[in-house]
Amino acid sequence: MQKVPLLIIILILLFSCNGKNNSVKSNFSFAATQLTLAIRETEKGISENKAKNYVAPRTIDEAGKLVLSPPREWTSGFFAGELWYMYEFTQDDKWKKAAQQYTANIEQEKTNGTTHDMGFKLYCSIGNGFRLTKDEHYKKVLIEAAYTLASRFKPQAGIIRSWDHSNDKWQCPVIIDNMMNLELLFWAFKETQDSTFYKIAVSHANTTMKNHFRKDYSSYHVVDYDTISGNILSKSTHQGYSDESAWARGQAWGAYGFTMAYRQTGDTAYLNLAKHIVNYIFTNPNLPTDLIPYWDYNAPNIPNEPRDVSAATCTASALYELSLYDKANSTQYRNWADMILKNLSENYLAKKGGDYGFLLLHSVGSKPGNAEVDKPLVYADYYFLEALLRKKQIENN
């Protein structure tokens, strides 16, 4: 057999790697244009609505106007997180300064004990800031936020209460989204060695693993608990099509959350669950060929249902991490994630220099609530950039 010259092999590998990284580079170049516009539009909106204490972009409304978030909303930290990801990729101090500015606006939420969304608000913003700068001030804020989150733990039920609203419907609701907030507690345990954080996070993950999933590994959205007996009162939905349907972003939260929980604990039960959730997603007959899911896998009018890009970006990010732990399926996971990012880049990008600086279109906030349907959403953009960074790190290694 004729041997291929070493130089040709090296050139093939170089061109291959450059081709892969070029897709990441081009998307971050697009993001730089968009986020520069987003900062300008957000500052304008904040200036025009000073009394409302807005701090970040969230979406675009039905009238085509920019919607901003106050600090208390669960979406308030994602924009600062995007800016930190821009700094991580470019190492340009202008993004660092912008990230610091928008991160400072979220800090007040560290003592807001009325919500479980500490991870979304503070770990995605201040957490990324601390990871990239090691600023001790950020560390103190995060630890205080972790104690605030831990205060919502209900020991008899073994879970962290998600919502305080809708007391007429639920006594102590826990949503699958809450898995995403556990990373703050795992981080706090490592930084402080206070085992309370670890025990609470593991208890919540174990209870969610036991009660949130059906036999096919689709997830309930809301599980309601009796905080005295710990018994389950009901299993239902709030943003999905029906109580027994599989809300697309809920599946993404589960895949991401249990992959993260495995990283933090080494518990293979979490890894196996993440694999099962991913298998449910990618063997589902209602998953479109471009791998961008409809807002619910059981929505009644498929294929005439809105897609949810936010579910796709979160899933892609989870797949890249999961590929590091499940060697037998790592190539498949990366191929799926690569295809998601490719299709998003080709068919779901916002207009360059338009759409108020959002990166991606066609997400769904709450279809049952007729809110943010077929709109850009800031968290879809956040997980898009995170997935791109994870892709780059894997390919570089």
- Lowest average pLDDT, out of 16-20, 50-54, 220-224, 300-304, goes to 16-20
| Of residues 218, 195, 198, 215, the one with CA closest to residue 206 | 198
| Of residues 386, 317, 350, the one with CA closest to residue 81 | 386
User: Are 293 and 281 within 8 A, CB to CB?
Assistant: yes
The one-letter code for the residue type at 300 is P
pLDDT at 20: 55
Kindly tell me if the per-residue pLDDT of 210 is higher than 60. yes
User: Are 68 and 86 within 8 A, CB to CB?
Assistant: no
For residues 212 and 222, give the distance between their C-alpha atoms in angstroms, rounded to a whole number: 8
DSSP annotation of 289 reads T
| Of residues 49, 50, 78, the one with CA closest to residue 66 | 49
pLDDT at 12: 45
The residue behind tokens 């499940």 is 326
Q: Give the residue numbers marked as catalytic.
A: 117, 177
Backbone angles phi, psi at 355, to 5 degrees: 55, 35
User: Are 324 and 340 within 8 A, CB to CB?
Assistant: no
Kindly tell me if the per-residue pLDDT of 3 is higher than 70. no
For residues 354 and 360, give the distance between their C-alpha atoms in angstroms, rounded to a whole number: 11
Q: Is domain 20-396 given the CATH code 1.50.10.10 in the classification?
A: yes
Q: How many residues are there in the chain?
A: 397
The one-letter code for the residue type at 157 is A
pLDDT at 7: 53
- Strands 66-69, 56-60: pairing is antiparallel
- pLDDT tens-digit profile of 316-372? 999 999 999 999 999 999 999 999 999 999 999 999 999 999 999 999 999 999 999
- pLDDT class for 15, splitting at 50, 70, 90? very low
Q: Give residues with Cβ within 8 angstroms of 397, minimum separation 6.
A: none
Kindly tell me if the per-residue pLDDT of 2 is higher than 90. no
For residues 365 and 373, give the distance between their C-alpha atoms in angstroms, rounded to a whole number: 6
